[in-house]
Amino acid sequence: MMRRVVSRRWLPLTILVAAAVIGLGSLGVWQVRRLNERRALNTDIQARLAAPAIELTGAVADPAALNYRHVRVQGAFDPGPEIVLRNQARQDEPGVHLLTPLRLAGSDQAVLIDRGWIPYDAPRSQYPAPGEAVIIEGIARATQARQGWLSPLDPALTAELTRVESWYRVDIARIQEQTPYPLLPIFVQQTQGFAGGVLPAADVEIDLSDGPHLSYAIQWFAFATTLLIGYGFLIQHQSADA
């Protein structure tokens, strides 16, 4: 059988099958590596979530160090520059998240607070931010960047377009361009909502699953194994008929 595999007649197909098996196996190994990276990231996030809350009072030296940390911030909401984050589903119902700047007490800075979810067709005026000074508890999140060229773009500000109301991602640098005071380079997902299911719904969900990587790895390894076994059966069948 081995002599037939490397014979002049079968060698081109053997090389093609070998390349395909190596390629499929490499994709499986890549998914296993992605799985390990995902699990390491989840472990880091869980450790950050379990750490004591941090008081935010002003400038943030290292935004990455605050990502996924519980924080507490005191100040007053400014509803004027409020924006919405698009394409946010809750219990399979489409909606948006309300992001309102909170002017920090004793500071000229502000931080964007993700106050939670409302239905996409609900008037924002029905869900005003509290008018008095408040203490907000939540989870600090890093500014969001575009993930891949297929991700939708937020429009750029121009002389004609001086303000964007609805955003696909929380890009702090871009949002800063239309905000009249300095924003911290993070935003905060509010975790304490209102009693009785009153909107906005501040039920933060953080995905700590393994994602699809294990199932993808199994699929790629299965494809490689099937191709290799199938080619072996083909060679054996041809040998029997010869």
- Of the listed ranges 10-19, 21-30, 43-52, 87-96, the least confidently predicted one is 10-19
Going by the DSSP 8-state scheme, the letter that residue 74 receives in this structure is E
124-137 as b/e: b if 16+ CB within 10 A: beebebeeeebebe
What gap in Å lies between CA 215 and CA 218, rounded to an integer?
Answer: 5
Domain ranges within the chain, ordered by starting residue: 2-43+212-241, 53-197
What is the Cα–Cα distance from 108 to 57, expressed in whole angstroms? 11
- Among 242, 227, 239, which residue's Cα sits nearest to residue 23? 227
Residues 199/123, Cβ–Cβ less than 8 Å:
no
Q: What is the pLDDT of residue 60?
A: 80
For 156-174, how does the pLDDT look when each residue is reduced to its tens digit (9 = 90+)? 888 889 899 999 999 999 9
pTM value is: 0.82
Q: Distance between CA 85 and CA 98 in Å, rounded?
A: 7
Q: Is the pLDDT of residue 232 over 90?
A: no
The mean per-residue pLDDT over the stretch 36-52 comes to: 95
Taking 60 as the threshold, does the pLDDT of residue 66 lie above it?
Answer: yes
pLDDT digits (tens, 9 = 90+) for 10-40: 678 888 889 999 999 999 999 999 999 999 9
